[in-house]
A = this chain, B = another copy of it.
Amino acid sequence: MPQPPAPRKATGRPPRISREEVIGTARRIVDADGVDRLTMRRLASEIGSTPMALYHHVRNKEELLVLLLDDYATRTLRRPELPDRPRERIVVAAAAIHEALAACPWIVEVLTADDLMSESALWFVEQIVDGLVACGLSPERAVHGYRAIWYYTAGEIVIRTTAARRRAEDDRTTYRERVFADLDPDELPRLAQVADHWAPLTAEDTYLEGLRALVDGLVATR
């Protein structure tokens, strides 16, 4: 293999590994085994070097992760054909970002606090669902409305990714089932009404509807 010509003065020891190699190897580890398997030690050994050699190419692990995301975005974000209608153009552009990030679950990691299914939050969910029903929505659409508000508030991606992870790890549906079984229909009538369909309703992908609603709201004359 020919040596590339050295464009800048070759002072000191020639580099054995490059920043690109570090990022590329990190990407392989993350794609193969998930982001929490990416450690500086493993990365070093995979690259055939020592942990400390990495610190000469990235400042620290946090910078490595930022570089990794940047690399990911550059490789996967493709510019779609855009419709002429401005409103639709917004939707398509946002959906493209969403799709790219959704395929990149390691972005989120940790947290999201399950489903905010805490007893004390249910009353608020009730108000939202009931309010949407009072506005003329069907219970099903009302649940979707609540889901959209919660998604776009706490982050649709974050929630779905960790939920999927949870589902893979063990069946923690028991907790949700218990909450719904203990529901008082007098205090929380709407939730009780939809309790049986909650699982299939929340399994549906309603991202685009929620997004369209948000855009509608933004461009509507107030």
Chain A interface (Cβ < 8 Å from any Cβ of B):
65-66, 69-70, 73-74, 77, 79, 82, 86-87, 89-90, 93-94, 96-98, 101, 107-111, 113-114, 116, 118-121, 123-124, 127-128, 130-132, 134-137, 145, 148-149, 151-158, 210-220, 222
Contacts and interface: CB of A to CB of B under 8 A. Distances in A.
A132 B216 contact: no
Nearest to A90: B131
A136 B149 CA distance: 25
Contacts of A89: 127, 130-131, 134
A37 to B, nearest CB: 16
15 contacts: A73-B118, A74-B120, A79-B123, A86-B130, A86-B131, A89-B130, A90-B149, A93-B128, A97-B121, A149-B211, A151-B152, A158-B158, A213-B214, A216-B216, A220-B220
A196 to B, nearest CB: 23
Contacts of A93: 124, 127-128, 131
Contacts of A158: 154-155, 158
Contact of A110 (B69, B110, B214): B110
A149 B69 contact: no
A153 B156 contact: yes
Contact of A214 (B90, B113, B217): B217
B154 A157 contact: yes
Please report whether the interface of chain A is mostly helix, strand, loop or mixed according to DSSP.
helix
A136 B155 CA distance: 28
A119 B211 CA distance: 24
Contacts of A124: 77, 93-94, 96-97
Contacts of A154: 101, 155, 157-158
Contacts of A96: 124
Contact of A134 (B86, B113, B218, B222): B86
A86 B135 contact: yes
B219 A87 contact: no
Nearest to A154: B155
Contacts of A97: 116, 121, 124, 153
A136 B158 CA distance: 32
